[in-house]
Amino acid sequence: KIEAYGYINGFTGLLRGDKISLPIDLTNTDYENLYKVGGSIIGNSRVKLTNKEDCIQKKLIDKHQDPLEVASEQLIKDKIDILHPIGGDDTNSTARDLANYINSKGIDITLVGIPKTIDNDIYPVKQSLGAYSAAESGAIFFNNIVNENNMSPRQLIVHEVMGRNSGWLTAYTAKIYNDILDKKKNSLENLNLKPIYNLNRFKIHALYVPEESYDFSGEVKRLEQVMDNTGCLNVFVSEGAFLKEISNDIESKGNKINKDAFGHVQLDSMDTGKWISKIISDKINIQRVLIQKSGYFARSAAPNSKDLEYIFKICDFAFKQALDGNSGVAGVDERSNELSCIDFKLIRGDKGLDIKSKWYLDIMDEIKT
């Protein structure tokens, strides 16, 4: 008999022994309804099992306890044979630490990670679950926001998209938005209502990602010309872009950079959209600035059909690997382009956007024309 449980808020629930029973006998209709729900029904958290001080601060363990030992003992107590950590590189690197500890103690539990992050930045996983759904939702978000350009003259819209070290989500959101705009073109052009429905007012005029460097002396001149010709500016920016520059600004004012349990800068405190809007508006005559963040709108979206198909593929494979006693991260290995159970030791969170890929270069060519 198979029993399935979900630890509430991920490793937080594991440390606390806080779990729920997951039904495994749902009807097809039940499953279809569940697939329409966005986010995570068991939640998540930012917990690193090797960061003892953070676990103590969060009151997940006592000061004399070891988080890895507490987690392992809970799994034994709950009679868990297979654990599927679901998340990005931080989740799966923590799963690696837990797997190493379990193996060192001779405990018979198999861990197979599920690569789930909208940043799509896990090396060497070719595609993370949820990434395409988030990009599509971000494009839909901006497709509505861009209509605000008809409300005010000389308006700057900054669309801040999630993504720490990788600009993939920002760029792919732009790609899908351009596809939406292409479908609009005929209907808008047939209206013959220029300049109100000038297509250039709907275009993306700039896209900034962490993988690129920018010369703003020349960039501002280009954007100023776009503003003068079009009457608006539409900018896409990754929340992790300009991280060094923003950090320097914050520290120069005597303020502290906040970091999470994994040592990452807390991006909410960076406010990248506000920073880039000031850089632009300080040099260009702008009457109204609108900063919009699609992050949680996109991250909590229900999976689209493309993602669902991939989710089924990865999860079925992950469960089979677990039954066979193979630990690792289930996903298509971009080195071989094959579905694999990738060694935890190979997992990193530094897979950036390929700025030489044709689809990205096509977006940049479209922006600059």
Q: In this predicted model, what pLDDT tens digit does every residue of 238-252 receive, in sequence order?
A: 999 998 888 888 888
The structure tokens listed for 53 are: 């001080």
**Can you list the positions of beta strands (E) in 147-287?**
155-161, 206-208, 232-238
Q: What is the pLDDT of residue 193?
A: 65
The pLDDT score that the predictor gives to residue 185 is 80
What pLDDT band is residue 197 in, cutting at 50, 70 and 90?
A: low
Dist CA 368 CA 362 (whole Å): 10
Q: What is the C-alpha to C-alpha distance for residues 198 and 184, in angstroms, rounded to an integer?
A: 12
The pLDDT, as a whole number, for residue 31 is 83
pLDDT at 194 (0 to 100)? 62
Cα 23 to Cα 3: distance, rounded to the nearest angstrom = 8
- Marked catalytic residue, from 89, 90, 119, 121: 119
Q: Is the pLDDT of residue 335 over 70?
A: yes
Residues 221-249, mean pLDDT to the nearest whole number: 93
The whole-number average pLDDT for the span 261-274 is 83
User: Global pTM?
Assistant: 0.92
Is 97 marked active-site?
A: no
Q: Average of pLDDT values for 121-136?
A: 95
What does the pLDDT read at residue 172?
98
Which pair of structure tokens corresponds to residue 329? 């991260």
Tell me if 79 sits within 8 A of 34, measured CB to CB.
Answer: no
| Mean pLDDT, the chain, integer | 92
pLDDT class for 276, splitting at 50, 70, 90? very high
**How many of the other CB atoms lie within 10 Å of CB of 208?**
19
The CA distance from 297 to 39, in Å, is 10
Report yes or no: 231 and 154 within 8 Å, Cβ to Cβ: yes
As a whole number of angstroms, the distance between CA 131 and CA 127 comes to: 8
* Pick from 194, 162, 174, 282: nearest CA to 234: 174
